[in-house]
């Protein structure tokens, strides 16, 4: 999504809020516009979707109005390892994957059992006096690799147990040590739709905990718009099922592809991507899946409204930081990839990020380059907690409070590891073979995306003049100085730890010969 479109969305959201009825949260005012409830320390709510792109925010007007128009939208927010489990491990640790060591979805190098849950964000927050709760999806393999436990640090736990996580009905939650299954996979009881159940549990938690003396941290992880399991899709023929009330919504919605869709010239891409161009049938399927994904997000938009309303009704809204994001993006025909993630391109790595809370201005857009490695440091600073690990990221609060602030801190993308090859269902574990994952390392600066694949392929994109990543400059000798500079930065980031990960990139990492050339597209 372009900066111009993001700005328009922010303005539309601001207008929508201005026209709505203004409500005043209960409680006494504090400096900076906060409201003091039972606890003067701020609460933190993190709302995370699964596989949501920045473009998907277009169908979530309530979220944009309630969070974006009352806070800051980070226009350049990326995840480091763009797939579920490593990305969520980064959220809960504040570390890049090469430090938290969750290098995939499945054993032996990935999954829930690989994560050091004894020294992670909820543990730090609980030690700082916070009541903590998690609702929904956690890390892949939870309940299958080892028995479904209640992970350390969680005061209240409602974790989705694999392999039922990827079902909108018939899913099982471990609820504080006891399992409960909600409905059956094909009996679509509207009362048991997964997103709505998660929303109801979040509202209940807020109502029960708002009157306490301790501040709270609430993590809600929605499945939408991620596809359901293969066994469900085989019967329904749908990628993901929306709430019954939304089944007929968005009938006229059409996919508005970027110039990267069905890319005409793929000769600058790695060999494994140089496939037959998308055919008409594939394009129709992509468009239909796009509509299904969008419909599933309507219930998430409702959930955001319900959670914000509950905070307001309990007098906690103005003393609560609310962060909305996704674990990774999703490719839908860009660069001839019909669906998926893992790749370093923007549709796969860029995610929505909205933050509102005390001291954060309303309706602003930040162009600072930020990442999911920054989420845990932000929450640690808000809570006044002490991290038990060296944090690779940094707090977002200075950039949220001063949206015009800029730095040259680069971001690392990395993938790798091993995985079991599933037999029937790509969301399940337990297959007999092991396969090495697609592996690359990449550095993203304010200007460039530079990628080094394990097989020797290389890419270099000027994001300022080629935001769709259509033309790699890597083979061009004129870009030799840029390549060498970015390679050195990447070498440093590849095994960085703590402060070394936050070191600014040299000025040469944000300039180059294309300064004198026209933009692409």
User: Measured between alpha carbons, how far apart are the two ends of the chain, in Å?
Assistant: 14
Q: How confident is the model at residue 24 (pLDDT cuts 50, 70, 90)?
A: very low
Q: What is the pLDDT of residue 145?
A: 80
For residue 281, pLDDT over 80 is answered with no
Q: Which of 3-12, 36-45, 150-159, 402-411 has the lowest mean pLDDT?
A: 3-12
Q: What is the pLDDT of residue 47?
A: 99
Instruction: Determine the average pLDDT of the residues in 313-341.
Output: 94
CA–CA gap between residue 179 and residue 214 (Å, rounded): 27
Report the predicted TM-score, pTM, of the whole model to 2 decimal places: 0.89
- Which residues does 414 contact at the CB level (< 8 Å), separation at least 6? 80, 81, 96, 97, 98, 440, 441, 442, 494
Q: What is the pLDDT of residue 274?
A: 84
Q: Which of 34-48, 241-255, 411-425 has the lowest mean pLDDT?
A: 411-425
CA–CA gap between residue 61 and residue 350 (Å, rounded): 20
- Which residues does 371 contact at the CB level (< 8 Å), separation at least 6? 77, 78, 79, 80, 393, 411
Q: How confident is the model at residue 426 (pLDDT cuts 50, 70, 90)?
A: very low
CA–CA gap between residue 455 and residue 437 (Å, rounded): 12
For residue 482, pLDDT over 60 is answered with yes
Would you call 75 exposed, middle or buried from its count of C-beta atoms within 10 A (0-12, 13-18, 19+)? buried
CA–CA gap between residue 172 and residue 157 (Å, rounded): 13
Q: How confident is the model at residue 512 (pLDDT cuts 50, 70, 90)?
A: confident
Instruction: Output the 3-class SS for 302-341.
Output: HHHHHHHHHHHHCCCHHHEEEEEEECCCCECCECCCCCEC
Nearest to 417 by CA among 80, 115, 109, 88: 109
Residue tagged 């793929």 (tokens): 266
Residues 196-233: tens digit of each pLDDT: 999 999 999 999 999 889 999 999 999 999 999 999 99
Residues 385-394: tens digit of each pLDDT: 999 999 999 9
CA–CA gap between residue 476 and residue 458 (Å, rounded): 12
84 is catalytic: yes
For residue 521, pLDDT over 70 is answered with no
CA dihedral 424, 428, 431, 434 (to 10 degrees): 120
Print burial letters for 146-161: b (CB count within 10 Å at least 16), e (below 16): eebebbebbbbbbbbb
| Domain 41-396 CATH class label | alpha beta
Q: Are 47 and 320 in contact (CB under 8 A)?
A: no
Q: How confident is the model at residue 19 (pLDDT cuts 50, 70, 90)?
A: very low
Of 44 and 11, more confident: 44
For residue 2, pLDDT over 70 is answered with no
Residues 484-505: tens digit of each pLDDT: 999 999 999 999 999 999 999 9
CA–CA gap between residue 368 and residue 74 (Å, rounded): 7
């Amino acid at each position: 999504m372009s900066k111009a479109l993001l700005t328009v969305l922010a303005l539309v959201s601001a207008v929508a809020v201005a026209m709505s009825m203004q409500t005043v949260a209960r409680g006494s005012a504090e400096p900076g516009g906060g409201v003091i409830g039972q606890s003067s320390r701020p609460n933190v709510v993190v709302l995370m979707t699964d596989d949501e792109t920045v473009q998907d925010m277009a169908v979530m007007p309530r979220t944009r109005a309630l969070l974006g128009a009352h806070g800051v939208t980070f226009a350049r927010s990326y995840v480091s390892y763009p797939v579920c489990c490593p990305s969520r491990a980064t959220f809960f640790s504040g570390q890049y994957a090469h430090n938290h060591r969750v290098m995939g979805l499945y054993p032996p190098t990935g999954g829930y059992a690989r994560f050091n849950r004894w020294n992670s964000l909820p543990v730090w927050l609980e030690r700082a006096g916070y009541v903590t709760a998690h609702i929904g999806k956690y890390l892949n393999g939870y309940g299958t690799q080892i028995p479904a436990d209640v992970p350390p640090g969680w005061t209240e736990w409602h974790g989705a147990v694999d392999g039922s996580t990827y079902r909108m009905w018939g899913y099982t939650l471990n609820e504080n040590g006891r399992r409960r299954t909600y409905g059956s996979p094909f009996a679509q009881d509207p009362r048991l739709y997964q997103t709505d159940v998660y929303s109801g549990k979040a509202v209940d938690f807020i109502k029960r905990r708002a009157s306490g003396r301790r501040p709270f941290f609430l993590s809600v992880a929605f499945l939408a718009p991620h596809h359901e399991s293969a066994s469900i899709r085989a019967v329904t023929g749908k990628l993901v099922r929306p709430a019954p009330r939304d089944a007929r919504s968005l009938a006229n919605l059409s996919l508005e592809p970027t110039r990267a869709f069905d890319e005409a010239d793929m000769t600058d891409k790695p060999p494994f991507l140089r496939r037959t161009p998308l055919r008409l049938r594939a394009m129709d399927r992509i468009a239909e899946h796009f509509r299904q994904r969008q419909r599933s997000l309507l219930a998430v938009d409702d959930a955001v409204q319900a959670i914000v309303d509950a905070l307001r009704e309990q007098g906690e809204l103005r003393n609560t930081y609310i962060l909305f994001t996704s674990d990774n993006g999703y490719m839908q025909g860009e660069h001839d990839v019909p669906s998926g993630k893992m790749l370093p391109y923007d549709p796969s790595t860029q995610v929505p990020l909205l933050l509102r809370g005390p001291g954060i201005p309303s309706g602003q857009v930040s162009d600072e380059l930020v990442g999911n490695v920054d989420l845990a440091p932000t929450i640690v600073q808000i809570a006044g907690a002490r991290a038990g690990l060296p944090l690779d990221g940094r707090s977002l609060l200075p950039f949220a409070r001063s949206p015009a602030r800029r730095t040259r801190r680069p971001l690392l993308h990395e993938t790798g590891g091993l995985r079991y090859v599933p037999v029937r269902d790509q969301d399940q574990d337990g297959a007999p073979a092991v396969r090495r994952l697609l592996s690359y390392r990449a550095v993203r600066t304010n200007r460039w995306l530079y990628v080094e694949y394990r097989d020797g392929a290389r890419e270099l994109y000027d994001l300022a003049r080629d935001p769709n990543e259509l033309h790699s400059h890597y083979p061009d000798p004129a870009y030799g100085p840029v390549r060498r500079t970015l390679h050195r930065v990447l070498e440093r980031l590849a095994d960085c730890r703590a402060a070394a990960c936050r070191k600014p990139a040299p000025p040469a990492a944000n300039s180059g010969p294309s300064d004198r050339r026209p933009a692409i597209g």
